[in-house]
A and B are shown apart, each in its own frame.
Chain A
Amino acid sequence: MIPLTDTEFREIVVYVREKYGIDLRIKRVLVENRLAGLLTKNKYTSFTELFLKMQGDYTGNIEREVLSRLTTNYTFFMREKTHFQYVVGNILPEMPKTALQNGYAAWCAGCATGQECYSLAMSLEEFRRGGGYLPNYSVLATDISQKALKTASVGEFSAEEIDSLPEKYRQRYWKQVSEAKYKISKNIRSNITFVLHNIFDATDQKKIFDSIMCRNVLIYFDSASRNAACEIFYASLKPNGYLLLGHTETILNLKHKFKYVAPAVYKKL
């Protein structure tokens, strides 16, 4: 296997962290192993060559593949936090109070082990604490992996995993249950429903969600499947609802009725 030098590893860590907020500093083995296949596939002779090709690739395809390989089954709290900020800073304030009276309804499609839906719920709680109008909210979190969903549903994470959260979040929403484990608060947990579900299982969606987060999921789909997913999301959102995708994903080249409003944020009109 082609070795990953210290300099190359540092370059990748800095690049990925600055651009996507993903911290790979303690993931050297993961980086080396997961990108090795890409080197072989493209006949690159070094990680430096991969890095240069990626930066010079105007299509963004190499970068997407690199990200895909580096982030599969890898998620963390407040990942791509601008989205959580967008929900509480833009979406909620612009919603009429009459609409919020019945609560804010969100769907996390492809919730994996739960970090995303808990991050969203904590952000919503903070919004309320800050005086924002939000009588109640409910988050539907779905995934196709029973194992991931089980982890998400239990809501227990290691100290290292919640370490990236602000101190006030750790104190307000987490309870230490053993030397190495923390559990999400009952209040947060009670607002989230976990369901084993494949996005494509149901095409009969109804307009019930104010926002849908489906981040770093579409990158694994082909164009036809991404189109199908977009249609399902569109049908599931209320008018003026929002779709939030991963920052490495785009649906601009697909046929859909969403309006682009911010990086990786789309609105149903």
Chain B
Amino acid sequence: MQPLFLVVDDAIFMRKMLLSILQGAGFIKFVEATNGNEAVEMYVLHRPDIVLLDISMPIKNGLEALTEIIDINPDAKVIMCTAVGKSSSVMAAIEAGAVDFIMKPFDRKKLIGAIGRHVDITENTDANA
């Protein structure tokens, strides 16, 4: 079954880039959010298999949203998306329950590799091609 992704970033540019890579790898199910508040709402509404969550966002940042998502579901698969130089935020996110992190802009192999570590993508995508 195709995993459902929740892609969270306040920059439409970054969301487009993520979606382009994911679609290129054969994934087809996505929902999007533009800030931490929306991310939590969308998580509750859709219960995605995996969340790609930006750290620096207005209204509610990624770390705050992560904490709420983990409160809702301690087994949530959240991969943090971060810019270079945010290592302290990454550590805080891992401690708060994020399963992985990837650096911006997104390296296709690393992104798909990170996803593959946390959801089964062997049957329904060409991600391993």
A interface, CB within 8 angstroms of B: 99, 102-103, 105, 107, 136, 138, 140, 190-191, 193-197, 201-202, 204-209, 238
> Taking A138-B106, A190-B109, A193-B108 as contacts, is the C-beta distance between A205 and B11 under 8 angstroms?
yes
Residue-wise, chain B 79-109 has the 8 Å CB interface mask toward A (1 for contact) of 0000110000000000000000001111111
B32 on interface, CB distance cutoff 8 Å: no
Residues of B within 8 A of A (CB-CB), count: 20
A208→B108 CA distance, assembly (Å): 15
Which residues in A have their C-beta under 8 angstroms from that of B83?
Answer: 206-208
Which residues in B have their C-beta under 8 angstroms from that of A201?
Answer: 12-13
B13 in contact with A193 (CB, 8 Å): no
Given contacts A191-B107, A204-B12, A207-B83, 15 further A-B contacts (CB under 8 A): A99-B84, A105-B104, A138-B105, A140-B105, A193-B24, A193-B108, A194-B20, A195-B17, A197-B13, A201-B13, A202-B12, A206-B83, A208-B83, A208-B104, A209-B105
Which residues in B have their C-beta under 8 angstroms from that of A107?
Answer: 105
Which residues in A have their C-beta under 8 angstroms from that of B14?
Answer: 206
Residue of B nearest to A197 (CB): B16
Which residues in A have their C-beta under 8 angstroms from that of B106?
Answer: 138, 193
Which residues in A have their C-beta under 8 angstroms from that of B105?
Answer: 105, 107, 138, 140, 193, 208-209
Choose among A102, A196, A204 the residue that contacts B103 (Cβ–Cβ < 8 A).
A102
Choose among B13, B16, B108, B109 the residue that contacts A204 (Cβ–Cβ < 8 A).
B13
Which residues in A have their C-beta under 8 angstroms from that of B103?
Answer: 102-103
> Taking A206-B14, A206-B56, A208-B105 as contacts, is the C-beta distance between A193 and B84 under 8 angstroms?
no
B interface, CB within 8 angstroms of A: 10-14, 16-17, 20-21, 24, 56, 83-84, 103-109
Residue of B nearest to A106 (CB): B105
Which residues in A have their C-beta under 8 angstroms from that of B12?
Answer: 201-202, 204
Distance between B118 CB and nearest chain A CB, rounded to angstroms: 21
B104 in contact with A206 (CB, 8 Å): yes
Choose among B10, B13, B20, B108 the residue that contacts A191 (Cβ–Cβ < 8 A).
B108
A202 in contact with B11 (CB, 8 Å): yes
Distance between B50 CB and nearest chain A CB, rounded to angstroms: 19
Which residues in B have their C-beta under 8 angstroms from that of A238?
Answer: 84
A58→B20 CA distance, assembly (Å): 45
Distance between B52 CB and nearest chain A CB, rounded to angstroms: 15
Q: Which of A107, A138, A190, A201 has the most CB of B within 10 A?
A: A138
Which residues in A have their C-beta under 8 angstroms from that of B109?
Answer: 190
Q: Which of A136, A196, A208 has the most CB of B within 10 A?
A: A208
Which residues in A have their C-beta under 8 angstroms from that of B13?
Answer: 195, 197, 201-202, 204-205
Which residues in B have their C-beta under 8 angstroms from that of A193?
Answer: 17, 20-21, 24, 105-106, 108
A193→B105 CA distance, assembly (Å): 10
A138 in contact with B108 (CB, 8 Å): yes
What are the 6 closest A-B residue pairs judged by CB atoms, nearest first? A202-B13, A208-B104, A204-B11, A105-B105, A195-B20, A138-B107
Which residues in A have their C-beta under 8 angstroms from that of B10?
Answer: 204
A190→B14 CA distance, assembly (Å): 18
Choose among B16, B17, B104, B107 the residue that contacts A136 (Cβ–Cβ < 8 A).
B107
Which residues in B have their C-beta under 8 angstroms from that of A206?
Answer: 11, 14, 56, 83, 104
Residue of A nearest to B108 (CB): A190
Residue of A nearest to B107 (CB): A138
